[in-house]
Amino acid sequence: MSRSRTSEDETDEEEFTRALDAHKKMLQQGRSFSGRERNCCFLNLGNRSESFANISAAAGLDFPDDGRSLVTVDWDQDGDLDVWLSNRNAPRLRFLRNDMPADSHSLMVRPVGNGRDTNRDAIGARVEVMPSGEIESEKQPRQIKTVRAGEGFLSQSSKWLHFGLGPKKQPQTIKIHWPGGGVETFSNLQVDGRYVLLQGTGKAEKLARRQGVLKLKPEPLTVPPASGSARIPLLSLLPMPATEYQTSDGGRQQLSIGKGRPVLVNLWATWCAPCREELAEMAKRKDEFAEHNLDVVALCMDSLGEEKTDPQAAEKFLDQIHFPFTRGTATEHLANLFQSIHNLLVVNNTPLPAPTSFLIDGEGRLSVIYKGPVPLDRLFADCRHASRSREERFMESAAVPGKLFRSAALEERLKLLELANHIKIADGLKQSGAVEDAEAQLRAGLKIADRADLRTNLGSILLDQGRLNEAEVHLMRAIAIDPAFAAAYGNLANLRIRQNRPDDAIVLYEKALELDPDFALAHYNLAMLLSRLRRFEEAKDHYRLAVAADGEFSEAYRQWGNLLRHLGQPAEAIERYESALAADPANAQLHNDWGELLATEGQMKAAVAQFRRALELVPDYPAARENLRRAEMSLKR
């Protein structure tokens, strides 16, 4: 279970962040929230010496699920409480029907407030049940329950209150203590009845049992056997980035995908026995690959390992089995690319095993990931995965089979999931410098839905590439879709700066900040622009607001420090550099800037230390090297 934050923790941000990171890594390693403990059910024994007994197995509730929520409700209206269980893992939902013995009786009541003194749901009402006709006393047996809202984590049981009466058939009296004040009695309620108790009437309205039966067909859960292999069909068909592999003659060859036929990229190693068996089977069944118009690119990963291997071993083995498909050697860039895509799509971020295969459709879109050997009949069937509907791909992506409740809301949710994957992959590719591939992901997302965030992100990428006219089209379209989307105004302001229209840029930044006053990047960019326009006091205000919105914004602290240094305020500049250093200790530019300030102040030894630190972080840093040379020469004089 994740650690909850306490008041003592609130002053220790680093410790709390470490705890969150540890929790995230735990999930990425495939570990269970509850340590794979079985569910527990306890029976109240009604005595003080031993209050509860563990009846988990006897009750049939001891599932090994990662349970989250439990609610009780008389689902079939037979007088006993049934149970719905929600889990983090599969099955996501379980229904457990309670079949009470035929000689047992119950009473179901639903208090309803008058809407004035008491809320209509009667939340907080305390209900007492006792046999009718008996003298009320403290010793008289009674049951007491309270109407509650939210009885557990992410769950809410029925507001109908259930009272088990055992073999008793005697009419019952209900006494309600209303949360708005006052006590009301309802008499002579018949056992096995369902009653609505409206505040202020003193009369119980009996409801007839629902006609018909809501039948739920029990089905066994088919759990796949434990295995080191995994088949991961994707909901989102993701355009694969361009990449190269090494050919047998040492050259580089572009991975040929998106040419109208599906391709299986197989990463293997000569030391991996399952890899060799898999490739040999592929060679034997080459005619079936031709029937399915499926190509294979087998890329050996021997050169990526730490152990020394025979560079010719892969070629010798493939020749020996008469491997008829494309072959080559995986480059480090290609292996890292496939690992990164896997990590962005799959929670369990463990290193890819050998073999691992990626099925890419004829349009160059990743559709299925296989960790471990691929059953070839399954592979051939998966060639159709990319042509399936979104709902069908979602069903295929489930770890265990189940039923899909189709609705417009589900379709919209699946579209959002698919779009989220495109945006996530695009962000990762952009950060790695693969902007053209990031652009392809966003354009694929736009085919699903024309959204402001997709247009804005695409406009930002086009702006970085200097494609200003195209960027403007997408940013203007983003604003038309959502006039309150602050990021679109911020990126359009960046475009106006590139077009040498600073006044227009200021207006757009101000509009973005009107929509989102905590838009740290807009404050920072506006501060940079105002500094260039020599509007220094306004610039300082926006640097301050940028770091107030994002306390880890190292670059805003650094540029604020540079502005203060320019204005002849070295002490204040150093304070900002210290804040920047706390947020980003490995910022070489920061150490260089700090060194320049110290050199200006005549503190040459301290300046030399900063320049050297900058070069330790970035050895090929011309400005820091030149500054260090000058500072050392000054010390020698």
Q: What is the pLDDT of residues 480-528, one digit of tens each?
A: 999 999 999 999 999 999 999 999 999 999 999 999 999 999 999 999 9
pLDDT tens, position by position, 22-73: 777 776 666 666 666 888 999 888 766 668 899 999 888 888 888 888 999 9
Percentage above 70 pLDDT, the chain: 93
Could you give the 3-state DSSP secondary structure of residue 439?
Answer: helix
End-to-end C-alpha distance for the chain, whole angstroms: 63
Could you give the 3-state DSSP secondary structure of residue 260?
Answer: coil
Distance CA 630, CA 625 (A): 9
Instruction: Give the CA dihedral 128, 131, 134, 139, nearest 10 degrees.
Output: -50
In terms of C-beta density within 10 A (0-12 exposed, 13-18 middle, 19 or more buried), how is residue 66 classed?
A: middle
Q: Taking a C-beta distance cutoff of 8 angstroms, is the pair 348, 318 a contact?
A: no
**Homologous superfamily of domain range 230-397:** Glutaredoxin (3.40.30.10)
User: CATH code for 448-636?
Assistant: 1.25.40.10
Question: In this structure, which topology does domain 105-207 adopt according to CATH?
Answer: Immunoglobulin-like (2.60.40)
What is the number of other CB atoms lying within 10 angstroms of the CB of residue 460? 23
* Residue 268, beta-bridge partner list: 300
Residue 137: per-residue pLDDT: 53
Q: Which of 335, 298, 340 is nearest to 318 (CA)?
A: 298
Tell me what the mean pLDDT of segment 217-231 comes to.
Answer: 74
Average pLDDT of the chain?
Answer: 89
Encoded tokens for 159: 């507001």
* Residue 253, beta-bridge partner list: 245
Could you give the 3-state DSSP secondary structure of residue 609?
Answer: helix
Q: Taking a C-beta distance cutoff of 8 angstroms, is the pair 329, 298 a contact?
A: no
What is the number of other CB atoms lying within 10 angstroms of the CB of residue 603? 16
In terms of C-beta density within 10 A (0-12 exposed, 13-18 middle, 19 or more buried), how is residue 302 classed?
A: buried
Higher pLDDT, 551 or 306: 551
- Tell me which DSSP letter residue 152 carries: B
pLDDT band at residue 7 under the 50/70/90 scheme: very low
Q: Taking a C-beta distance cutoff of 8 angstroms, is the pair 90, 400 a contact?
A: yes
Check pLDDT > 70 for residue 4: no
Element housing 271 (H / E): none
Q: Beta strands 183-189 and 172-177: pairing type?
A: antiparallel
Per-position b or e across 75-95, b if 16+ CB within 10 A of its CB: bbbebbbbbbbbbeebbeebe
pLDDT tens, position by position, 235-279: 999 999 989 999 988 899 999 999 999 999 999 999 999 999 999
Q: Which of 497, 566, 551 is nearest to 526 (CA)?
A: 497
Instruction: Give the CA dihedral 75, 77, 83, 88, nearest 10 degrees.
Output: 0
Encoded tokens for 266: 């197989």
Distance CA 559, CA 539 (A): 10
Check pLDDT > 90 for residue 546: yes
Encoded tokens for 432: 């790695």
Tell me what the mean pLDDT of segment 124-146 comes to.
Answer: 79
**Residue 585, CB-side half-sphere exposure with 13 Å CA sphere:** 1
All residues at 6 or more sequence positions from 129 whose CB lies less than 8 Å from its CB, including other chains: 107, 109, 142, 143, 144, 163, 172, 173, 174
All residues at 6 or more sequence positions from 217 whose CB lies less than 8 Å from its CB, including other chains: none
Could you give the 3-state DSSP secondary structure of residue 567?
Answer: coil
Q: Which long-range contacts (CB under 8 A, 24 or more apart) does 39-46 make?
A: 39/63, 39/64, 39/65, 39/67, 39/85
Q: Beta strands 105-112 and 194-198: pairing type?
A: parallel
Higher pLDDT, 170 or 283: 283
Instruction: Give the CA dihedral 153, 178, 122, 151, nearest 10 degrees.
Output: 10
Residue 9: per-residue pLDDT: 43
Amino acid identity of residue 359, one-letter, is L
How many helices and strands, by DSSP H and E, does the chain display?
Answer: 21, 21
Which of 87-91, 112-116, 260-264, 280-284 is predicted least confidently?
87-91
- Tell me which DSSP letter residue 335 carries: H
Tell me what the mean pLDDT of segment 362-388 comes to.
Answer: 95
Length of the chain: 637
DSSP per position, 31-52: --TTTTPPP--EEE-S-SSS-E
All residues at 6 or more sequence positions from 402 whose CB lies less than 8 Å from its CB, including other chains: 90, 91, 92, 395
